Amino acid sequence: MSHTPLRPAQPFDEKWIAQALNGFIEGSGHWGPGTLAVFTEVGGYLTGSGEKPPARYRGWNWYRFIGRCGAVALRASSFHVQDHLRAVQLAMLDVWAETPFADPEVRARMRAGVLELADTATRAARAHDGAVVALHGLGAGRDGQRFVELRTGTAQPSAPGRITDTEPVPATGWDTPDRLRRIVHLVRQKGPAPWDRAAAVVLAERTGLSRAGAALLLAGIPDVKYGYGGLGAEARKVMGLKQSEAEAGERELASLRVAERLDLLADVLPADPGQLWLEGGQLALAERIAEAWRRQQGVRPAVPESTLAVAAEHSDVRMAPAAVCAVFADPAREPRLTRDPDTRLRVNSISGGGWEGDEGFRFRELLAVVCDAVDWVYAELPEGDPVRRGVPETVQLLRERLAHPGLLLSARGRSLRGRTVAELLPGFPGALPYGDAAEPLAHPTLDDGLVVVSEAGFDRRGEREAPGVYFRPGRYGVDERSRRLEAVVDAEGSHLALVRRLRGPDFERIVQRITEGALPPGGYETDPRLSAPEVVEEAIAATGVDTDAATLYLQLLALPVPTDRRIRCFNRWTPAHHKAVEAVLVEAGLVVADHRPRAGRGMFLPGDWVGGDKFYPPMETWKAGLLGVRVIGRKVCSRPVAGPLPELFARAWRMRPN
């Protein structure tokens, strides 16, 4: 076949290539004008039609598109793509169709991998058995030069260095030259394929994704990394998504790595691309994507859309709302809850000290997410909800992981900045050097059986960083070592505080309430008529108001965010009834009417008020004290923790302001 590319049929500006392929590529700074030419140059050098080695560092890791360009074709056919980006995508498919990378017979003789160059000036080699081209790289070892190889003989061709790792490229696949040319022609002739909302619903049902996540997957995973804008208002309208839903869907798919995205969508298009424009074409596409998702990711537990909406209100940068719900709905499916992580220390390339590695980092992330989410899952989801029902098992599995004697968690000892292990050693009697590292550490360490300290290097100003302080939660208790740990750990935001909370009486009481099924089906713990009826009776007797007014008063006293919408949901009230109840409280002098930023309600307890922001809710100053919230400069600066609600309602009633 000829490998001379056809001139793209429509004008395009290659400066948009990084945005056009966003979510399918890495190192976007290396994607720009001249990238498409590299595909042709490398293909020509490998097949012998090109003489000079191609340019380097254009299109970082572009070899991943070999056998996987179907993902680009799917996005190029989707309605939401802006014209200037679609033009680049179609131009890429045009060029790719004329390279050897689109030919399944040629791909069968290819492989990719990593090599260490013998001579940095020589990046390619070609002989009668084939050719090897080093595309780019970060240095030596496992982060060395990425290469592509094409065999034309029976032996492996000579490489310009030592090959340290290899991976096959997909020989068979959707992206043949004819199919690539066909879909490019159809998109240019007919425009993007028609959108089918029903297909997105089917995809959600088949995968367990949210409706928004499924819609974005069906659309080729529009991505918003690197500051690029998300779906426009018109695209969201066509999909039937609110902006908050679209953002939650984007976060839901954000955990998919680039290689996973390309593998997932590589072969989902029909053999005849024209079927995408026929009735039922999008539905058939959804079925194929669902099958690919199940092979790669499994099936997530079904979570009600109403539950996902509640989860989306509790913004957490560490995990998407749908992913948080999936953990609680099926905790046995979450590997971080069922398998002890490898947290042996290894070298931290940034600080020079030690760290617990990727598994340790991901486990810490889950620990923080679960501890933060239990409060709202327990309080704001109704009895019988699958996510709420999973809290006891989730907590139990997390406690089991924390009990493992080898688990290390970061303790955030910033107060020790500048200190060396030699200086700290007298404070840890009997401590020895840490001997269980996954690789040799660059700086001294100490280990007293509970606490591990790893000395850090120096920052850019020449000042020594804070040492890494770690502890084994399985050995944490009430002994002298535990008291020493508490003396050096940052009290706020520490993983030690999370461990104490997870093992503490509040979590035990929450688990008990859910396990006992203390509420009627569909009932909310935030409704004191159901969770604290004795306190409601006390409030009626003391204030002289009726049951509904006493209920609302207790909710305004105790709940961290008693917005009008939430109150109506918890109590199953209509707006008219809610306003009538508020009027009773105003007449009794128990609340005042007002308009306050970010409050989401019009009734407030008398007294001072502190503001909030996107992450922390505003509230009455009195209530901040009740919920243990830190206030700085008349602004909430920490997350409120409600704990078990029967006790909170009782405590709020006892401590209520005059």
Question: 592-644: per-residue pLDDT in tens?
Answer: 999 999 999 999 999 999 998 878 899 999 999 999 898 988 899 888 888 99
Distance from chain centroid for Cα 289: 21
CB under 8 Å to 535, separation ≥6 — which residues? Answer: 528, 554, 646, 649, 650, 653
pLDDT at 121 over 50: yes
Q: In whole angstroms, what is the distance from residue 562 CA to residue 326 CA?
A: 26
Which is more confidently placed, 75 or 351? 75
CB 591 within 8 A of CB 603: yes
**122 band by pLDDT with thresholds 50, 70 and 90:** confident
CB-side exposure of 191: number of CA atoms within 13 Å?
A: 5
- Kindly report, residue by residue over 544-572, the tens digit of the pLDDT: 999 999 999 999 999 999 999 999 999 99
pLDDT at 1 over 60: no
CB 643 within 8 A of CB 525: no
CB under 8 Å to 465, separation ≥6 — which residues? Answer: 351, 352, 353, 417, 456, 457, 458, 459
**467 band by pLDDT with thresholds 50, 70 and 90:** confident
Q: In whole angstroms, what is the distance from residue 87 CA to residue 81 CA?
A: 10
Q: Tell me the mean pLDDT in the region 353-358.
A: 83
Residue 97's CB is within 10 A of a number of other CB atoms, namely 23
Alpha helices in 108-254 (DSSP H): 177-190, 197-207, 211-218, 233-239, 243-254
Cross-strand partners of 146: 114, 136
Q: Tell me the mean pLDDT in the region 348-359.
A: 78
Q: What angle do CA 84, 89, 93 make, to 5 degrees?
A: 145
Q: Identify the CA nearest to 40 among candidates 82, 75, 91.
A: 91
Q: In whole angstroms, what is the distance from residue 551 CA to residue 537 CA?
A: 9
- Kindly report, residue by residue over 133-176, the tens digit of the pLDDT: 998 876 544 557 889 999 998 888 988 888 988 988 998 889 99
Query: According to the model, what pLDDT value does residue 245 have?
Result: 87
Query: According to the model, what pLDDT value does residue 2 have?
Result: 38
Q: In whole angstroms, what is the distance from residue 201 CA to residue 299 CA?
A: 15
Query: According to the model, what pLDDT value does residue 464 have?
Result: 81
- HEC secondary structure over 423-470: HHHHHCCCCECCCCCCCCCCCCEEECCCEEEECCCECCCCCECCCEEE
Query: According to the model, what pLDDT value does residue 52 have?
Result: 78
Residue 619 DSSP code: E
CB 443 within 8 A of CB 353: yes
**Percent with pLDDT over 70 in the chain:** 94
pLDDT at 393 over 80: yes
Cross-strand partners of 347: 354
| Overall size of the chain counted in residues | 658
pLDDT at 457 over 80: no
Cross-strand partners of 125: 132
- Kindly report, residue by residue over 213-244, the tens digit of the pLDDT: 999 999 999 865 544 556 888 999 999 998 88
Query: According to the model, what pLDDT value does residue 14 have?
Result: 93
Which H or E run includes 312?
helix 305-312
- HEC secondary structure over 28-88: HHHCCCCHHHHHHHHHHHHHCCCCCCCCCCCCCCHHHHCCCCHHHHHHHCCCCCCHHHHHH
Residue 105 DSSP code: H
Average pLDDT, the chain: 90
Q: In whole angstroms, what is the distance from residue 593 CA to residue 393 CA?
A: 43
CB 380 within 8 A of CB 386: no
pTM of the model: 0.81
- For residue 582, the SS3 value is helix
- Kindly report, residue by residue over 292-335, the tens digit of the pLDDT: 999 999 988 889 989 999 998 886 667 888 899 999 999 999 99
pLDDT at 422 over 70: yes
